[in-house]
């Protein structure tokens, strides 16, 4: 990987290799509690303590009420329940930590206790849990039973056609919520309308938000385009909060304001935001997060977007940073909040670190595993690249399948993908035309339908989008106009889907904790509560869902392997003829090398794992043997398909005592009749990278052994390819075809092999 020409003589060159790994682009920070760089143990973290007199908090976590900052005040007045506090604070933290991982202690008992605990107490409890305990506790404590996921839908041009198409894809993939934002803030109305239309394609009920400036976001929500919001950020120190231009009271006001408009909302907080804003007070990430989360519950938010969020890349520069993110997410669900558990801002250039970070959430489940999975390509993500993006989407689908863990997503077929994209683009075009906003020409539409990302599109420029957006805003267009336009232009299903979503706000059912929509029904912590009490309880994928998780693209099975072989058969029949000449007898010729073929060789199977026609492999071996002065004889064995036994059996019938065993998949061995079965002379075990030249050299060597020489073994060089991953499924299926053909006492058959034409 590294050019060694410039290597310094006094450096182990492995360090050069390590320097080239993507991991080394990540920068790591030393633990420094005085300067805010500590995940769990800040220099100024207080010890848990609480005094209450006459029902009022007189001191909390070492601060007396007279010295409370506004965050302390908010928590003391609106989070702490004096009726619970005495009992809760008296419990040793270690005991509470054990209760969190005790499957016999119900979730409700713990959420009740949390209402009587101070931030320092909550932090002290979860800090005692290891990564696996945090994961388990998270799985037990999260509010809604069924896990879900949220995706970003944005693009670099703010192109509405692409937004509609990509929103439809996100819906097809199973995202419960989709979130957009803009490159140009004035494009917010266009983004909102476009995603809204796209999200109505295929199925109803995908919640949608448009992240923009507070007042505008609420207005867009009131126009009915969006159904949820998560931009209400809170911070764990007073100065950071004030620099964020808000207070707990102003944020609580917004929390009520969203509810008053029938819009689902959650707050946002995450480790290291205070550090990024320069006001960390030398306190740990976890303790400050505990303050944020107590505040959010106290504000009456149903949930939180939590787990580092924009601060995740900074939090994870520290020792224990990823464990801290798990710990803060556990705090969120322990406080009975819906948790959109971060895993959005990409914290590392290392794909291994990214994959490792998602795993606890995937196996534990989460209300929304990512609070922004990039459904689009990285460069199109206007929030910044996510942990997982359009590029890595199939990796996530396979992780779901590997662990039989429900990450909320499902696979999409090529034809379905194209169909929903086309439908979304057509629907938006109709709405644009009907509402007098714009009329995209067919070439623009087609370029978007097939585009993987905005680099591929020939569509609107950001400036043109601004005009459309301005028209939507000034014409006071609402979702009712959009529904009407869809219905009028024949997009009945999309109109119905959109109306279904907008009607949800009338009852307010989706304002309850952890609400999403599945199969036209609201699912929340009220009617789908997490009831985990040990194995067999809590969320388990249904058999139907298990099959959905398994159904990734391009899966091999026996039928598929035999179909591919059958397709190859005709070509092989034109190249080679195998004639059975009856039972094979031992040979006497001292230069004779027997090539022992497996039972299915040339019968049901016709090429090696490397893709060589078996006729070409036979020819290469024969040429090699003859070139080195040997005589090649071919025998088919029917009692075994094992390479070693094929080789040994062949050697036993060879006049020279040297034989070659050859399987259809290309694995080959040189054997001598006097050796033990698995102690061969030479072996080609890596059939997928074995070339015809290797087989020819193999033949030469076999003939050399026959003469009693000791040739240089043929080495098939590997560059570390994961050959097992690439080939073992096919190898096992092919090999099973061969073993099925074996019969006990099957007689070796002499073969006359004729080359009909040279196959290469």
Partner 1 sequence: MSKSDLTAADYPLAERRPELVRGARGKALEDLTIEAIASGDVGMEDLRITPNALRQQAAIARSAGREALARNFEKAAELAEIPQEEIMAFYELLRPGRAAEKQILLDAAIRLRDTFNAPLAAAFFEEAADVYERRGLFKFRY
Question: Can 344 be counted among the known catalytic residues?
Answer: yes
For residues 633 and 702, give the distance between their C-alpha atoms in angstroms, rounded to a whole number: 12
The DSSP line for 588-611 is --TTEEEEEEPTTBTTTB-B-TT-
Q: Rounded to the nearest 10 degrees, how much is the dihedral formed by the CA atoms of 323, 329, 330, 336?
A: 180
Nearer CB in complex with partner 1: 297/633: 297
Rank residues 112 and 379 by Cβ distance to partner 1 and give the closer one: 112
Cβ-count burial 91-111 (b if 16+ within 10 Å, e if not) = eebeebbebbbeeebebeebb
Residue 351: helix, strand or coil by DSSP? helix
CB of 303 to partner 1, least distance (A): 10
Axis crossing angle, helix 188-198 with helix 479-488, rounded to the nearest 10: 50
CA 660 to CA 617: how far, in whole Å?
12
Q: Which is nearer to partner 1, 299 or 734 (CB)?
A: 299
Helix, strand, coil in percent for the chain, rounding step 5: 50, 15, 40
> Of the listed 212, 273, 302, 371, which one is catalytic?
371
Q: For residues 336 and 406, which CB has a smaller minimum distance to partner 1 in the complex? A: 336
User: At its nearest, how many Å lie between partner 1 and the CB of residue 261?
Assistant: 7
Residue 150: closest CA among 303, 352, 353:
303
Among residues 176, 179, 281, 750, the one annotated as catalytic is 179
Nearer to partner 1, 224 or 270 (CB): 224
Q: Which residue out of 45, 166, 176, 230 is catalytically annotated?
A: 230
Helix, strand, or coil here: 569? helix
CA angle, residues 136, 231, 275, in degrees to nearest 5: 70
Angle at 444 between CA 443 and CA 450, to 5 degrees: 90
- Alpha-carbon span 426 to 551, nearest angstrom: 29
Task: Confirm whether 233 is a catalytic residue.
Answer: no
Would residue 230 show up in a list of annotated catalytic residues for this protein?
yes
Minimum CB separation from partner 1 for residue 65, in Å? 10
Whole-angstrom distance, CA of residue 532 vs CA of residue 103: 7
Query: Is 505 or 546 the residue whose CB approaches partner 1 more closely?
Result: 505
| Smaller CB separation from partner 1, 100 or 110 | 110
Q: Which residues are registered as beta bridge partners of 304?
A: 267, 339
> Closest separation between CB of residue 521 and partner 1, Å?
7
Vertex 290 angle, CA 358 and 59, to 5°: 170
Cβ of residue 111: shortest distance to partner 1, in angstroms? Answer: 7
Place of tokens 């060879």: 654
Least distance from C-beta 3 to partner 1, angstroms? 55
Query: One of 273, 301, 305, 514 is an active-site residue; which one?
Result: 305
- Nearest approach in angstroms of CB 412 to partner 1 is 28
The reply to whether 179 belongs to the active site is yes
Residues serving a catalytic function are 150, 152, 179, 230, 305, 344, 371
């Amino acid at each position: 990987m590294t050019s060694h020409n410039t290597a310094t003589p006094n450096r182990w060159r492995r360090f050069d290799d390590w320097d080239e790994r993507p991991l080394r682009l990540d920068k790591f920070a030393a633990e420094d509690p005085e300067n805010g760089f500590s995940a769990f143990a800040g220099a100024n973290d207080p010890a848990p303590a609480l005094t209450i007199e006459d029902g009022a908090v007189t001191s909390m976590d070492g601060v007396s009420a007279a010295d409370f900052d506004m965050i302390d005040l908010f928590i003391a007045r609106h989070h702490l329940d004096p009726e619970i506090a005495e009992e809760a604070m008296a419990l040793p933290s270690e005991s509470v930590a054990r209760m969190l991982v005790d499957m016999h202690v119900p979730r409700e008992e713990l959420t009740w206790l949390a209402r009587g605990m101070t931030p320092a107490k909550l932090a002290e409890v979860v800090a005692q849990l290891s990564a696996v305990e945090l994961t388990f506790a998270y799985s037990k404590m999260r509010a809604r039973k069924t896990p879900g996921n949220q995706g970003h839908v944005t693009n670099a041009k703010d192109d509405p056609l692409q937004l509609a198409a990509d929103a439809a894809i996100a819906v097809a993939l199973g995202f419960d919520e989709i979130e957009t934002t803009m490159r140009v803030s004035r494009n917010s109305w266009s983004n909102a309308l476009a995603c809204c239309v796209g999200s109505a394609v295929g199925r109803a009920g995908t919640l949608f938000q448009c992240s923009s400036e507070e007042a505008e976001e609420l207005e867009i929500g009131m126009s009915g385009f969006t159904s949820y919001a998560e931009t209400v950020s809170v911070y764990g120190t007073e100065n950071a909060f004030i620099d964020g231009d808000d207070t707990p009271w102003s944020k609580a006001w917004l929390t009520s304001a969203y509810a008053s408009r029938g819009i689902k909302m959650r707050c946002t907080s995450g480790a290291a935001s205070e550090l990024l804003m320069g006001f960390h007070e030398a306190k740990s990430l976890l303790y400050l997060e505990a303050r944020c989360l107590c505040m959010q519950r106290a504000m009456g938010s149903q949930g939180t977007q939590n787990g580092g969020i924009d601060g995740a890349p900074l939090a994870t520069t520290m020792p224990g940073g990823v464990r801290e993110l798990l710990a803060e997410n556990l705090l969120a669900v322990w406080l009975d909040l819906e948790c959109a558990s971060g895993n959005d801002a990409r914290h590392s250039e290392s794909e291994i670190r990214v994959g490792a970070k998602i795993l606890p959430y995937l196996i534990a489940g989460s209300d929304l595993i990512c609070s922004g999975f990039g459904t689009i390509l990285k460069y199109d993500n206007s929030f910044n690249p996510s942990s997982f993006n359009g590029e890595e989407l199939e990796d996530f689908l396979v992780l779901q399948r590997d662990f039989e863990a429900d990450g909320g997503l499902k696979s999409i077929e090529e034809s379905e993908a194209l169909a929903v994209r086309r439908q979304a683009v057509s629907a938006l075009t109709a709405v644009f035309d009907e509402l007098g906003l714009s009329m995209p020409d067919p070439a623009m539409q087609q370029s978007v339908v097939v585009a993987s990302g905005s680099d591929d599109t020939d569509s609107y420029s950001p400036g043109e989008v601004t005009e459309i957006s301005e028209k939507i805003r000034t014409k006071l267009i609402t979702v009712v106009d959009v529904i009407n336009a869809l219905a009028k232009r024949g997009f009945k299903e999309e109109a119905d889907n959109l109306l279904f979503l907008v009607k949800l706000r009338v009852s307010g059912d989706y304002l309850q904790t952890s609400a999403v929509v599945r199969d036209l029904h609201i699912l929340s912590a009220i009617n789908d509560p997490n009831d985990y009490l040990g194995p067999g309880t809590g969320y388990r994928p249904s058999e139907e869902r298990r099959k959905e998780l398994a159904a990734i693209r391009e899966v091999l099975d026996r039928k598929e392997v035999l179909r591919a072989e059958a397709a190859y058969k005709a070509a092989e029949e034109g190249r080679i003829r195998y004639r059975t000449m009856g039972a094979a007898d031992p040979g006497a010729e001292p230069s004779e090398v027997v090539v022992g073929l497996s039972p299915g060789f040339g019968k049901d199977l016709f090429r090696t794992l490397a893709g060589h026609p078996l006729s070409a492999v036979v020819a290469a071996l024969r040429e090699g043997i003859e070139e080195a002065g040997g005589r090649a004889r071919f025998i088919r064995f029917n009692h075994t398909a094992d390479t070693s036994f094929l080789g040994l059996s062949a050697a036993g019938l060879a006049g020279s005592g040297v034989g070659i065993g050859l399987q259809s998949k290309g694995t080959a061995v040189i054997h001598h009749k006097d050796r033990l079965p698995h102690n061969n002379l030479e072996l080609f075990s890596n059939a997928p990278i074995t070339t015809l030249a290797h087989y020819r050299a193999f033949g030469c060597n076999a003939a050399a052994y026959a003469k009693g020489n000791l040739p240089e073994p043929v080495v098939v060089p590997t560059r570390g390819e994961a050959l097992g991953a690439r080939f073992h499924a096919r190898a096992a299926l092919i090999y099973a075809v061969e073993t099925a053909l074996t019969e006990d006492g099957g007689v070796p058959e002499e073969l006359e092999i004729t080359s009909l034409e040279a196959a290469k």
